[in-house]
């Protein structure tokens, strides 16, 4: 599969992710309308976004500028290789 290069399709993909987030959150809150659930859901969303930023930006720009991550599996392989290199 080739990389997505069309700007309009990239924006559409981002918008569809946003729609998925909002619909999922809405369904969860409609089934469990509690402040605790809303706060935990907000924490999961925020922490997931920060983890994504950490994996795909912080590591690449501040820890190892030679490695380019292509996904979470790539990140796990990178971590395992780093652990093996320290032995």
Q: What is the pLDDT along the chain (87 residues), one digit of tens a residue?
A: 677 888 999 999 999 999 999 999 999 999 999 999 999 999 999 999 999 898 888 888 888 888 877 788 888 888 888 877 765
Domain extents for the chain?
1-33, 34-87
So what's the pLDDT on residue 21?
Answer: 95
φ, ψ of residue 69 in degrees (nearest 5): -85, 140
What's residue 23's pLDDT?
97
Alpha carbons within 13 A on the beta-carbon side of 2: 3
Q: Quote the pTM value.
A: 0.70
3-state DSSP assignment of residue 25: helix
């Amino acid at each position: 599969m080739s990389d997505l290069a069309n700007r309009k399709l990239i924006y559409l993909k981002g918008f569809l992710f946003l729609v998925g987030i909002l619909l999922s959150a809405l369904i969860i809150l409609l089934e469990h309308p509690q402040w605790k659930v809303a706060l935990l859901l907000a924490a999961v969303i925020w922490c997931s976004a920060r983890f994504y930023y950490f994996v795909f930006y912080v590591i690449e720009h501040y820890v190892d500028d030679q490695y380019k991550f292509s996904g979470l599996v790539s990140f796990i392989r990178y971590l395992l290789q780093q652990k093996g290199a320290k032995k």
